[in-house]
Amino acid sequence: MSSRACPVCSYDNVEQIGQDPLDMKVLYKCPRCGPFLLTELVFVKYERKLKSSKLSAWIRAHSEQKKEPPTISTDFLENHLKDLPEHTPKEKMLLFLGVLKKRAEYTGELVEIKCKTDYPLVHASQWQEMACLSQELDRLGYIKNNLASGGNLSCQMLTEGEGHLEKHETQIASLVTFDHHPKSKFLNSQYIDEQFKKCESRIDHGDYEGALTSAKTFLEAILQEISNVHEEKQNKDKSTLPKLFKQTLKNTSLGNIDDHTKVILRGLITTVHGLSELRNKAGDSHPSKITPDKRHAQLAVNTAKTIACFLAE
Ligand SMILES: [Zn+2]
């Protein structure tokens, strides 16, 4: 066991524990970022890139959600670091309210906040920014901020703050979990348009079964993308669309949409799944089942597009 400054946030004397002698992974236990794994090779090669407040916030989010310590890999630094979101002051204030809510047992309870170690929680770039956010929230009447010294705050959530947080429940869930990636491969309007055109052209060529299959595959790709972080837990081959949707709800911030919307979405997804299963049913020993025709294909494709647009919003 040894110690060195945190390669991400420069916190002094962070405990390092060697994990796997083969690939030389080291577990860092940073009081600010939370625990994470890094190989010596990545440390040396990306020393500058690692110093990122966005990365610090991303690592901290893992420990807050009680996930396994993330491994900071070459692939992550090269391809995904740039996609971590940049938050507006308004979003950071929402995150601050979220921290208060999480730590208080009841509205109005005094909560101690140590800005110097807690600032990654609100995606701030340094502790002073977190202190400023608390002053702004106080000015807006959302919290009462009893400022102590050295970046240690003692805050109380006010009813207005609680109300503001409730109004933005879904938004804060995606901020906290990093689930919403606007630059993601599938969750953008261009991809959705392309896939939709593909389905339409199949319908135009009379390939109704093909259009149904495309619509289903297209939705599967989107749901997979949303729950990408948890992908290893899923069995892609056996997951039917409704099952995949259920898993996605459970694993991601999508689970925080209101119950009515969930019921509607579930219904729509079952529709696409059901229609795409028509082909199997039509082919086996149930001759009385419907063979997909143009109307069915059109219904599946349009429904898939509706769901995709909703999810990508
Ligand atoms: Zn750190």
* Residue 244 pLDDT: 81
Secondary structure E strands in 68-108: none
Distance from the CA of 221 to the center of ligand 1, in angstroms? 34
Distance from the CA of 120 to the center of ligand 1, in angstroms? 9
Secondary structure E strands in 43-114: 111-114
Classified by CATH at the fold level, domain 189-312 comes out as Four Helix Bundle (Hemerythrin (Met), subunit A) (1.20.120)
The lowest-confidence range among 84-93, 222-231, 266-275 is: 222-231
Q: Are 144 and 155 in contact (CB under 8 A)?
A: yes
Distance from the CA of 66 to the center of ligand 1, in angstroms? 17
Rounded mean pLDDT, 144-166: 88
Reply yes or no on whether the pLDDT at 32 is more than 90: yes
Print burial letters for 151-181: b (CB count within 10 Å at least 16), e (below 16). Answer: bebebbbbeebbebbeebeebbbbbbbbbbb
Q: Are 4 and 38 in contact (CB under 8 A)?
A: no
* Residue 185 pLDDT: 59
In the sheet that holds 152-157, the strands lie side by side as 111-114, 152-157, 143-147
Q: Which CATH code of 1.10.10.10, 3.90.190.10, 3.40.50.300, 1.10.3080.10 fits the domain covering 89-177?
A: 1.10.10.10
Reply yes or no on whether the pLDDT at 9 is more than 90: yes
- Give residue 84's pLDDT band: very low, low, confident or very high (50, 70, 90): confident
Domain parsing of the chain, residue ranges: 2-83, 89-177, 189-312
Distance from the CA of 89 to the center of ligand 1, in angstroms? 22
Distance from the CA of 73 to the center of ligand 1, in angstroms? 16
What is the gyration radius of the CA atoms in the chain, in angstroms? Answer: 24
Distance from the CA of 38 to the center of ligand 1, in angstroms? 12
Reply yes or no on whether the pLDDT at 283 is more than 50: no
The lowest-confidence range among 14-28, 88-102, 122-136, 281-295 is: 281-295
- Give residue 37's pLDDT band: very low, low, confident or very high (50, 70, 90): very high
- Per-residue pLDDT reduced to its tens digit, 61-83: 999 988 899 999 998 899 888 88
Highest mean pLDDT among 153-167, 273-287, 292-306: 153-167
Rounded mean pLDDT, 99-121: 93
Distance from the CA of 223 to the center of ligand 1, in angstroms? 32
Instruction: Read off the pTM.
Output: 0.59
Distance from the CA of 55 to the center of ligand 1, in angstroms? 9
Helices 241-251 and 259-283: angle between axes, nearest 10 degrees: 150
